[in-house]
Each structure stands twice: as C-alpha cells, then as structure tokens.
Amino acid sequence: PRKIIIDTDPGQDDAVAVLLALASPEEIDVLGITAVAGNVPLPLTQKNARIICELAGKTDTKVFSGCDAPLSRKLVTAEHVHGKTGLDGPTLPDPKMPLQDQHAVDFIIDTLRAEEAGTVTLCPLGPLTNIATAFNKAPDIVEKVQEIVLMGGAYFEVGNITPAAEFNIYVDPEAAEVVFKSGVPIVVMPLDVTHKALVTKPRNNAFRAIGSKVGLATAEMTDFFERFDKEKYGSAGAPLHDPCVTAYLIKPDLFSGRHINVEIETQSDLTLGMTVADWWRVTDRPANALFIGDIDADGFFSLLTERLARL
C-alpha cells in the first residue's frame, strides 16, 4: 500500500475522504492524520479528525494537531458551509482516542526523514499551512516527498469563497505558493472536478442503505452539506470535494487531467488565492501540476459506497 499523511480540516467532505482511506488498507497506509485550521478553528478540526477515526473503528490511527492560523493572514473559516462544529449533520460521540503530543509539522518532518525517499505521499484536504510550514522549517524533506495529491483551486469553475478563489487556497495563499513552487510532483483536484462529484439523492440513499453507523453518518453528513450547495448553486447535490483525493490514490483511472503550470495569486485583493492555471498552455511556464478536469462520477460513487460498507 501507498504510505500517506492526510492533512485535513474536517469538514464533512474531509471526513468522507478519511473514511475512504481508512476503509482501503490494501491500497493506502495512513501513517498519520494532521489537523489544520480551515473550515473551523483547530480545536474543532483535530477533534473532528478523531471523531472520524473512531467512527471508522480505527482508534489506533495517529492524529496530530498542527497550525492554528495561516502563515501570515487571519484565519477565514466556513461555518456557513459546514455548520458550527464543522461536522454538523450526524450526532457523533466525543472522541476518547488520544491526540498525539507531537506537533503535526514535526510529525510530517520526522516521517519524511525516517521513511525511504520517494515513498510518502502528502494528501492535503484543507489550507496548505502545515505542509508549507514543514517545507520552510526543513527544506531537506521536500525532495523526499513522493507526490502531493491535494484538493484546492479551480479553473473554469473559478471560485467558491470569492468570485476568483477556492476556499483552501484562499485561506492561505502564501502557503499554497510554497507548495506549488516546491518542485514536488503535484496532483490537483480543483472545483472543476469536484463539482462533478455530486451527491445526488440516489447516491445519498446508497450510503444510507449500507445500513451501518458509517453509512448512516455519511448520508447525514452529505445531507447537511447539500443544503448549502443546493441553495447556493442550485446543483443536483453536494460536491464531494476531498474524497476525490483519496479515491485518486485507489483508482487513478477514474480521473483525467492535464500537466500544466499553476501559479497562485498572493497580491491582488480582488483575486487573492486564485489558481492561475495555464489549461490551454498559452505560456511557456513549465508544468508543475497534474490539474484534474474530469471524473467518472458513477465509478467514484460506486467505489465510495463499496469501500464505506467495509467499515
């Protein structure tokens, strides 16, 4: 299995991404889960990460708490999408499993130093603060990363937190810039693809029909999440952003995209956090990311339902 660190700000869709990874030990070995401030503040995201591990019955998963604010900006949160707790929808018990003592950034650094070069993949599902802080603090680890598969940014779909920017990149654009300039191979799941991974009513029913605690919680989480997006976008269901990352690790064939150059806007107030993606290759700037544009959505949801049923 592929060794990964999930860096996350749960978030209902983060939660489903984590469940999918924990349900797939043949393909994915979760070395640790590092929490970052994003959808809600850090005390809630680290707690939510543990709630999800317990829901999955994987209480031996190591969960670390990381940065509580972006590199140089004030934290922007998204309770308007995820609710006050970040995991609104299901009623889940407070976690009993421990939070690790070590800081998430130090865990990322130590793990990359300890493991063989090119064998650890980073999976950021929130603002890129923890990853950028680790790269800044320990530049020697950058070349040891196998790949970064992240959810963030947009091209045709443009933005969801501002007209120009997607939430994860907008919250910490300086951190995103560090990551996109790092030279590590990057796979990006932008809104262009996640807005095609919609939890329609039949797909939500399929989660519920699993008949387990995990199936029910997933149905309730995606139901809650959907209310926001139905009102806001009039779409057929909630976009399941972050699970695209973990699904890609299991079944990359579900996705297709282009190797292109992606730069991050860090200066303009108007377009702060925009991923300036050279989709049509109109510049000669070198490609630094595989920017995903399409998904086999039915295949994605059958994989997800099948895997969640294993927990």
* Residue 195 annotated as catalytic: no
> If contact means CB under 5 to 8 A according to the sort of partner, which of Ca ion, ligand BDR, none does residue 278 touch?
none
> If contact means CB under 5 to 8 A according to the sort of partner, which of ligand BDR, Ca ion, none does residue 81 touch?
ligand BDR
* Residue 126 sits in the site that holds Ca ion (CB under 5 A): yes
Give the span between the Cα atoms of 251 and 290, in whole angstroms: 16
Beta bridge partners of 258: 291
Residues 60-99: x where in contact with ligand BDR by CB under 6 A, - otherwise, as a string = ------------------x--x------------------
DSSP string, 122-161: EEE-S-SHHHHHHHHH-GGGGGGEEEEEEE---STT--SS
User: Dihedral angle at the C-alpha atoms of 303, 36, 7, 50, nearest 10 degrees?
Assistant: -60
The stretch near Ca ion (CB under 5 A) out of 125-133, 152-160, 170-178, 181-189 is 125-133
* Residue 7 sits in the site that holds ligand BDR (CB under 6 A): no
> Which of residues 90 and 261 has its CB atom nearest to Ca ion in the complex?
90
* Residue 11 sits in the site that holds Ca ion (CB under 5 A): yes
Helix (H, G, I), strand (E, B) or coil at 15: helix
* Residue 243 sits in the site that holds Ca ion (CB under 5 A): no
* Residue 166 sits in the site that holds ligand BDR (CB under 6 A): yes
Contacts of residue 282, defined as CB under 8 A and 6 or more positions apart, other chains included, come to none
The stretch near ligand BDR (CB under 6 A) out of 56-64, 91-99, 166-174, 264-272 is 166-174
Give the span between the Cα atoms of 101 and 225, in whole angstroms: 32
Q: Distance from CA of residue 134 to its chain's centroid?
A: 17
Of residues 179 through 238, those in contact with ligand BDR by CB under 6 A are none
Q: Site for Ca ion (CB under 5 A): which residue of 14, 223, 229, 265? A: 14
Angle between helices 173-180 and 129-137 (to 10 degrees): 60
* Residue 151 sits in the site that holds ligand BDR (CB under 6 A): yes
Give the nearest distance from C-beta 248 to ligand BDR in angstroms: 14
Q: Which of 80, 82, 103, 241 is catalytic?
A: 241
State the first-to-last Cα distance of the chain, in angstroms, to the nearest integer.
18
The footprint of Ca ion (CB under 5 A) covers: 9, 11, 14, 125-126, 242
